[in-house]
Chain A
Amino acid sequence: MIPAQKAFLSGNEAVAAGVRLARPHVIAAYPITPQTTVIERLAEMVEDDSLKAEYLHVESEHSALSACIGASAVGARTFTATSSQGLLYMAECLHYASGGRFPVVMMNANRSLALPWNIYGDQRDSLSLLDCGWIQVYAEDAQESLDLIIHGYAIAEDPHVLTPFMINLDGFLITHTYELLNLPTQEDVDVFLPPFRTVNKMDLDHPMSLAFTAGPAYNQSFKQLQHQAMMSASKVIFETEERFGQLFGRHYPGLIETIHCDDAEFILVTLGSVAGTVRPVVEKLRSLGERVGLVRIRYMRPFPDTEISTALAGAKSVGVLEKDISFGYEGTVFTNVNSALMRAKVLPPRLLNFVGGLGGKDISATDIERLFLRLKSPDDGETVAFI
């Protein structure tokens, strides 16, 4: 009666469905709101044998990622999920995973950081960890979340990349919101994503050193290789999305998505689910003759500097809306966008940083209309505005 592939799922359930389709060998996780239902669903799948994986109940996030690193070091495909304080508790291990070139895939439910204690969504957790050597991508909805799990393994495990992959979902707004999506079939995912093969593993027939020490003479060489691998991920991301589009019919736009930017004078740059609130506002203002546009950043690492500066080249006024603040300066996304513009010598007459949504504060369509009005108004000298 209904097409087999249609489902009405939450973002967390979509992630769990994507993980099962990717056939990981090892899942290790510790529950934390709003990530919990992902690992509950995965535990149920392992229990009912619809997912043949080793599910490790660990005592902390630090151990969860450590277990994934250990399993990856024997050639296993691994998954973990966390959020907020849990991600920060993993911080040491994040560098072990990226430095060791272990392509762990992780889902992070974006959530505020204490204090004051708060379980609701903002993006300070992952954005504060941009420098840990993980690919970072921000989903807008449940369908993209599911698809990114499958992309994630293909990208992270590419021999030129071998870099761990973090998929960020806005806490509650994506993780706990139910929506219609298309589930890929196992047969198609098996074609798209072959089993993980790597030489970067413990193998008695081909012994090699892993997780070793490198002193001053060599250490920087490893870090340069890590940087090159991350930079090369951009090309692999495009190729992976192209291949995915051909097989599954869903097409993704690369590191950023642009809406009406070609002739836009006033452009809002943002990331995550709030882009969904911006979309209808842009269409409404366009229908009234306003030349407005949207840049949705999907990947924060590798950072799409050329794509962003190209999209913003003709704008009179640009606002960067983010759920983050680097206390004492500005939002981290704004810093990165500014740097991209400076590199390209693209200098819009006006650049504003809108900081909002902290601790789950709602951002409504009316708020977004106000931001566009602000972009059109005369410069008042302010750069960072809390909305």
Chain B
Amino acid sequence: MVEIRFHGRGGQGAFTAARLLGVAVTLFENRHALAFPSFGPERRGSPVLGFIRIDDQKIADRSIITRCDVVVVLDDTLLDASILNGLQRGGLLLVNTAHSELPLSVPAHVRTVLVDATALALQYLGRPIANTGMLGVLAALSEVVTLQSLLAAVRHEMKGSSAEKNAVLLEETFKASGGQIT
């Protein structure tokens, strides 16, 4: 079982990232997933969460996710100690930021990776929406999902030029994080 939490602001697609990842692993990798937003009213700009549980078997437990293997932060203005809640030993913290340092201390056992996914999103989408870009980073730095499944998921869920631009963004963030396109 892999559990991931996405932090973003309403409108940045934190839950869409979780849902796209769910599409990628269920429809294209024959695994199971439960993806859900932080429940309740949604307001543009307010802090929101997206969650996903991934497993090889059907997942029955729908209680709140309290332990995380990966935390993905889409907006660096959300960075505070609560970002680390539940992040396991050896966990992965992926932060979309133009800065080279974090304004908080992260335990040494957490692998932290900073990426300026917004800059890449502006370049390839023309919009500062980094959610699919951060999924490319996730594919490059973990075994959670393959780039191929994410590309298929984007083409399954999006249409026309939006699908193609997001596919390019996925590939570019994947490469920028050291992923090898075979």
Chain A residues with CB under 8 A of B34: 177-179
For residue B124, CB closer than 8 A to chain A, the reply is no
The minimal Cβ–Cβ distance linking B26 to chain A, given in whole angstroms, is: 4
Of the residues A2, A172, A360, A365, contact of B36 by C-beta under 8 Å: A172
Q: Which A residues are closer than 8 A to B by beta carbons?
A: 1-2, 6-8, 33-34, 119-120, 140-141, 170, 172-174, 176-180, 273-277, 279-280, 360, 362-365
Chain A residues with CB under 8 A of B108: none
Distance of A146 Cα from B94 Cα, bound (Å): 36
The minimal Cβ–Cβ distance linking A194 to chain B, given in whole angstroms, is: 32
Assess whether B28 is in contact with A8, with CB atoms less than 8 Å apart.
no
For residue B62, CB closer than 8 A to chain A, the reply is yes
Chain A residue with Cβ nearest B155 = A1
Assess whether A180 is in contact with B36, with CB atoms less than 8 Å apart.
no
Besides A8-B23, A170-B62, 19 new A-B residue pairs in contact (Cβ under 8 A), listed by A number: A2-B28, A7-B27, A8-B19, A33-B41, A141-B60, A172-B40, A173-B62, A177-B34, A177-B36, A178-B22, A179-B22, A179-B33, A180-B27, A180-B32, A276-B59, A276-B61, A277-B61, A279-B60, A365-B63
Assess whether B39 is in contact with A360, with CB atoms less than 8 Å apart.
yes
Q: Which 3 A-B pairs have the closest CB atoms?
A: A276-B60, A180-B26, A172-B39
Assess whether A364 is in contact with B64, with CB atoms less than 8 Å apart.
yes
Q: List 15 A-B contacts (CB under 8 A).
A: A2-B28, A2-B156, A6-B27, A8-B26, A8-B33, A8-B35, A140-B60, A173-B62, A174-B62, A176-B39, A178-B35, A178-B36, A179-B26, A179-B33, A363-B63
Chain A residue with Cβ nearest B32 = A180
Assess whether A176 is in contact with B37, with CB atoms less than 8 Å apart.
yes
The minimal Cβ–Cβ distance linking A26 to chain B, given in whole angstroms, is: 31
The minimal Cβ–Cβ distance linking A276 to chain B, given in whole angstroms, is: 4
Chain A residues with CB under 8 A of B79: none
Assess whether A277 is in contact with B40, with CB atoms less than 8 Å apart.
no
Distance of A172 Cα from B61 Cα, bound (Å): 14
Distance of A346 Cα from B65 Cα, bound (Å): 39
Assess whether A8 is in contact with B22, with CB atoms less than 8 Å apart.
yes
For residue B144, CB closer than 8 A to chain A, the reply is no
The minimal Cβ–Cβ distance linking A110 to chain B, given in whole angstroms, is: 13
Distance of A364 Cα from B66 Cα, bound (Å): 10
Distance of A119 Cα from B37 Cα, bound (Å): 15
Chain A residues with CB under 8 A of B26: 6, 8, 179-180
Distance of A177 Cα from B60 Cα, bound (Å): 12
Of the residues A1, A172, A273, contact of B152 by C-beta under 8 Å: A1
Within 8 A of A (CB), among B153-171: 156
Chain A residue with Cβ nearest B61 = A277
Distance of A7 Cα from B61 Cα, bound (Å): 20
Assess whether B41 is in contact with A119, with CB atoms less than 8 Å apart.
yes
Assess whether A277 is in contact with B63, with CB atoms less than 8 Å apart.
yes
Within 8 A of A (CB), among B16-66: 19, 22-23, 26-28, 32-37, 39-41, 59-64, 66
Distance of A51 Cα from B33 Cα, bound (Å): 29
Chain A residues with CB under 8 A of B41: 33, 119
Chain B residues with CB under 8 A of A7: 27
Of the residues A2, A119, A177, A279, contact of B40 by C-beta under 8 Å: A119
Chain B residues with CB under 8 A of A140: 60
Q: Which of B19, B62, B64 has the most CB of A within 10 A?
A: B62
